[in-house]
Chain A
Amino acid sequence: MIEALFVIVWTWLFIMAAYLSWVKIVNHWKVYLMMAYNWLYLTGIFVIYPKLQGLSRILYEYLA
């Protein structure tokens, strides 16, 4: 479940950051900024998500 929670929080965080940047920045450079956000977002998902499995197992055992 931690994995799913991470995906939701991580996605929400980047949607907010992207939305605020898109609204505040008028210059066309914001397109490049969106690309950078997107790169960070996906990299974070691919790196962090598999690492959460161990944490999820520890928490599950603790709660059990």
Chain B
Amino acid sequence: MAALSAHLIWDLTKRDFSERFAGSILGAIWAFIWPLVNLFIYIVIFGQFMGGRLPGSSDVYAYSIYLSVGLIPWTCFAASISRSSTVFLEKKHIISKVDVSLPSLLVFINLSEIITFIITNAFLFCFLVVTNYEFSLKLLLFPFIFFLQQILAFGLGLLSATLTVFLRDLKEVVGIILQLWFWFTPIVYVSGILPDVVRSVLVFSPTFIITESYHRIFVFNDYPAVTSLVILTAITHVILLASYALFRALEKDVRDFL
């Protein structure tokens, strides 16, 4: 196996970013305009124009914050998985010529999406400051929950990237699963509106636990459910381990197939 090269990962991340806006006059400035527009939609359109309110809260911005802190990480999570699922196929011209470590291709996608996430969050934090949001030390847990989320995205991405090489239809299946997964996660709605039967099943969804944790920290000024997070951490690492073990077992075949 080729070694993981930090230089290569950083080079691919930079290229991914520059290629996205190649040929445009504003260039990398678009990387700031897109998150700003998305945030505008979440806060102004959903929160103000459509009058979205959180049950039991009189704060006019509570729903906007609720929506933003769920949707911004989800966008990063979903984009990381969906882009990872086809990365081996898209980068086969590099894989066939250079002895590149295949997992490093997933790392650059994750990094690229994390950069977009950080830019969007910087705007969100500016909004929170402007609206006199009360910051607490509980917010320090946010990067760690996000880190856990991205490990899960990496594990699932590696699994789908490996299998998509042999079964091309899988990239469509991944898209459908992510779409369904989004609507079965309390991002745009509160979990309290779900029927008890559905809720009792959804509490086992990793994104349910992660999104609820974000909401608890940002909106309800509370600590996330520790037991759920600890179990999720263990499950996430088992998924990562299993994905990596499967990838190692199939790595030669993956390279041959490409």
Majority secondary structure of chain A interface residues (helix, strand, loop or mixed): helix
Which residues of chain A come closer than 8 Å to B230, judged between CB atoms? Answer: 43, 46-47
Instruction: Please give, as numbers and ranges, the residues of chain A lying within 8 Å of B241 by CB-CB distance.
Output: 32, 35
A42 close to B240 (CB less than 8 A): no
Q: Are B140 and A38 in contact (CB under 8 A)?
A: no
Give the distance in Å from the alpha carbon of A35 to the alpha carbon of B244 in the complex: 10
Q: Is A59 located at the chain interface by the 8 A CB criterion?
A: no
Q: Does B148 contact A (CB under 8 A)?
A: yes
- Name the distance in Å between B240's Cβ and chain A's nearest Cβ: 6
CA distance A36 to B140 in the complex (A): 23
Contact of A49 among B1, B140, B148, B151 (CB under 8 A): B140
Contact between chains at A42 and B1 (CB < 8 Å): no
Q: How far is the CA of A25 from the CA of B100 in the complex (A)?
A: 21
Which residue of A is nearest B143, CB measured? A7
Inter-chain contact B151/A43, CB cutoff 8 Å: no
What string of 1s and 0s marks CB contacts (under 8 Å) between B213-257 and chain A? 000000000011010011001100100110010001000000000
A42 close to B233 (CB less than 8 A): yes
Knowing A31-B244, A46-B230, say if A38 contacts B137 (CB, 8 Å). Answer: no
Residues of B close to A32: CB separation below 8 A: 241, 244
User: Is there contact, CB below 8 Å, between B1 and A43?
Assistant: no
Q: Within 8 Å CB of A4, what residues of B? A: 137, 140
Please give the residue numbers on chain A whose beta carbons come within 8 Å of chain B beta carbons, in ascending order. Answer: 3-4, 7, 28, 31-32, 35-36, 38-39, 42-43, 45-47, 49-50, 53
